[in-house]
Amino acid sequence: MSKKVVKPTKPRHHGTVSNSISFSEAYIFILNNPKHIYHTTGNNSSFMARAYKSKKRKEKVITFKGIESNYVSAYVYECCWGKVTNCYGTYIDCYTKAMV
């Protein structure tokens, strides 16, 4: 079981991250590889990603779901890509940097 990483609270869209692919590339990769397993850059936790169009916000979104925990850990919209935290202040960099 992975060790939980506790980080200090940060505001929404805090900081910048250099991701290896764009949001659009990640979105398409996930749609074409829905069962692909990734590993966070933080504590190497296994997770899966899902890409779909949000009903509430009417825009593309990627969600990250932990394999061990079986719950959605974070939501990422295009406006969040390249940031350390998302629209809700949740850390996303350990997921987005793991995208191939």
Q: Please, which residues have CB within 8 angstroms of residue 58's CB and are 6 or more apart in sequence? A: none
At 2, the pLDDT band (50, 70, 90 cuts) reads: low
Residue-wise pLDDT tens digits, 53-100: 999 889 999 999 999 888 999 999 999 999 999 999 999 999 999 997
pLDDT value at 52 more than 90 = yes
Sheet of strand 46-53: strand arrangement = 38-39, 46-53, 60-66, 72-77
Phi, psi dihedral angles at 96 (to 5 degrees): -65, -35
Instruction: Specify the pLDDT at position 42.
Output: 85
Residue 83 and residue 17 in contact, taking contact as beta carbons nearer than 8 Å = yes
pLDDT value at 21 more than 80 = yes
Which of 66, 63, 59, 20 shows the shortest CA–CA distance to 42? Answer: 66
Query: What own/partner pairs with CB < 8 Å and gap ≥ 24 does 66-71 have?
Result: 67/37, 68/1, 68/2
